[in-house]
Amino acid sequence: MSKLIAKIKKACEDCIEDANKAIEEVTDGSEDIYEGRMEFAGQILSLVNDCGCDPINKYLCFDCEREAIKEKYPNAVYTDQLTWEVDGKEVEL
């Protein structure tokens, strides 16, 4: 029985270590997340992210995109061609 408990304990420790590494990878700003920790990273991001952004897949939801564009280009308008423009010229982040 003690061998089984030791295996379970080791598996839990490994899982905790991977989760901690995923936290570091999500928060270090590098956008580099080890493939094996994607599930942990996704769970972490879903806890702190109340919008539709998905940094792992580099997807920015429209609300966050609009906020970032307006911060950089206060006069930007969103066009029927689904682009942001300032004075008729397309702009992006």
What is the pTM (predicted TM-score) of this model?
0.49
Beta-sheet strands, E only, within the chain? 77-78, 84-86, 89-91
Model confidence pLDDT, tens digit, residues 19-46:
777 777 766 766 676 666 667 676 666 6
* Domain chopping of the chain, boundaries: 1-55, 60-93
Mean pLDDT of all residues belonging to the chain: 79
Sign of CA pseudo-dihedral 89, 57, 28, 26:
positive
Please, which pLDDT band fits residue 87 given cuts at 50, 70 and 90? very high
Task: Tell me which amino acid residue 47 is.
Answer: L
CB within 8 A of 18, min separation 6: which ones? Answer: 36, 37, 40
Residues recorded for the chain: 93
Please, which pLDDT band fits residue 63 given cuts at 50, 70 and 90? confident
Task: Say how far apart CA 92 and CA 7 lie, in whole Å.
Answer: 51
